[in-house]
Structure 1
Amino acid sequence: MAKKKSITASDLIGFYMDYVLMHNHKPKSVYAFAKDNNFEEQKFYEFFGSSDALEQSIFKVFFDNTVKALDKSGDYHSFDARNKLLSFYYTFFENLTANRSYVVHALHEHKNGMQSLKVLSHLKKSFANYIEQLGIKTIDLKQEQLDKIQNRGLKESAWFQLLVTIKFWLDDTSPSFEKTDIFIEKSVRASFDLIDVSPLKSIVDFGKFLFKEKMHMN
């Protein structure tokens, strides 16, 4: 059978996800992966330097698809930072849900230590840039170095919040993952209230929700 001549990065990602789900493990080598999908090995290296690089790009694709969908929405561009982030979360988790079998396989063994997970490294960089572009209002410390530290802390805390939400979604067994939607709404609202030094009502409400869910899971 003739080898496939026209191969795109999207094709390779699709082949890779299918391979992992069908075999329940990563390809043993790029050569074996290429042979299994009937294309020349060199075609792979036109897009990715290794299987790890391809794997890391998958979660960035989920991010990119989310941003593209939001950009097409006229309403999104009129939202404030809080509602833009809420829209991002809902759309991003729709993308994860559409690929849940792969995401669970990729993250399940590491769900208690995702902070340092290499497979999410490209996603982390893209998400940090997204948070920076949201223009979230913080306290004006009137000192450049302190402002840089505050902005770095904002991006790290936003990343941690995303990881915690992914962990909650991985464990969520509710219909249509409706509890994850509640988690998103309450956690994003609470985080913005904390930044704005606003009344703690929403933070307490979020704490009660977490306590209730923890008791239920135990």
Structure 2
Amino acid sequence: MAKKKSISQSDLIGFYMDYVLMHDHKPKSVYAFAKDNNFDESKFYEFFGSFDVLEQSIFKVFFDNTHTALDKSEEYQSFDARNKLLSFYYTFFENLTANRSYVVHALDSHKNSMKSLKLLSHLKKSFTNYIEQLGIKTIDLNQEQLTKIQNRSLKESAWFQLLVTMKFWLDDTSPSFEKTDIFIEKSVQASFDLIDVTPLKSIVDFGKFLFKEKVQMT
């Protein structure tokens, strides 16, 4: 059988995810992976230097697919920062749910230590850049160094919030992951209320929800 001449990054990611789910481990070598999927080994290296880099790219693809879908929506373009972030969350977790078997396989054993997980490094970079571009209004500190610290803290806290939500989703057994939808709504609302220094009703409401669900993140 002639080897496939046209191989895309998306093809390689699809082959890899299928292999991992069918065999419960990564391929033994790029050579074996290429042979199993009938393409030249050199094609792999046109896109990825290793399986580790490919794995990191998978979660960035989930982000890219989310961002592309939102950019096509005229309604999304008219939203304020709060509703844009809500839309991002709902769409991103739809992408995760469509690939839940792989995501659970990749993250389940690390769900209590995702903050430093190299597997998510490309996702973190893309997501924190997205947060920076949202134009979230914060307190005007009138001091450049303090403003930089505030912006860095905002991005790190937003990233931590996404990780907490991913952990909640991994543990969620409710129909259609409806509890995750509630978690997203309440957590985004509470985080913006904290930034805006507004009444604490939604924050207390979110706290009650967390206590009820016994969420833990270390």
Equivalent residue number for residue 122 of structure 2 = 122
Paired with 2:40 and 2:57, the residues of 1 have a C-alpha distance of 21
Equivalent residue number for residue 62 of structure 1 = 62
Paired with 2:214 and 2:8, the residues of 1 have a C-alpha distance of 44
* 1:109 partnered with 2:109: yes
Matched residues, percent identical? 88
Equivalent residue number for residue 36 of structure 1 = 36
Equivalent residue number for residue 191 of structure 1 = 191
Offset at residue 213 of structure 1 (A): 1.0
Q: Deviations over 1:145-191 (max 9, x none)?
A: 00000000000000000000000000000000000000000000000
Offset at residue 72 of structure 1 (A): 1.1
Alignment of 1:13-32 (within 5 A): 13-32=13-32
Paired with 1:98 and 1:108, the residues of 2 have a C-alpha distance of 16
Equivalent residue number for residue 86 of structure 2 = 86
Instruction: Specify the SS of the correspondent of 2:38.
Output: coil
Offset at residue 87 of structure 1 (A): 0.2
Equivalent residue number for residue 51 of structure 2 = 51
| Structure 2: unaligned runs, 5 residues or longer | none
Paired with 2:111 and 2:132, the residues of 1 have a C-alpha distance of 26
Paired with 1:31 and 1:140, the residues of 2 have a C-alpha distance of 55
* 1:10 partnered with 2:10: yes
Offset at residue 35 of structure 1 (A): 1.1
Paired with 1:141 and 1:173, the residues of 2 have a C-alpha distance of 43
Paired with 1:211 and 1:9, the residues of 2 have a C-alpha distance of 42
Letter in structure 2 aligned against 1:94: E
Instruction: Specify the SS of the correspondent of 2:148.
Output: helix
* Aligned residue-pair number: 215
Paired with 2:207 and 2:20, the residues of 1 have a C-alpha distance of 37
* 1:96 partnered with 2:58: no
Q: Deviations over 1:100-150 (max 9, x none)?
A: 000000001101100111110000000010000000000111000000000
Paired with 1:137 and 1:190, the residues of 2 have a C-alpha distance of 15
Instruction: Specify the SS of the correspondent of 1:75.
Output: helix
Letter in structure 1 aligned against 2:97: T
Offset at residue 4 of structure 1 (A): 1.0
* 1:76 partnered with 2:81: no
* 1:161 partnered with 2:161: yes
Q: Deviations over 1:69-89 (max 9, x none)?
A: 101111000000000000000
Offset at residue 31 of structure 1 (A): 1.1
Equivalent residue number for residue 201 of structure 1 = 201
Paired with 1:24 and 1:67, the residues of 2 have a C-alpha distance of 30
TM-score using structure 2 length: 0.97
Structure 1 runs (4+) greater than 3 angstroms displaced:
none
TM-score using structure 1 length: 0.97
What root-mean-square deviation, in Å, do the aligned CA atoms of Structure 1 and Structure 2 show?
Answer: 0.8
Letter in structure 2 aligned against 1:107: L
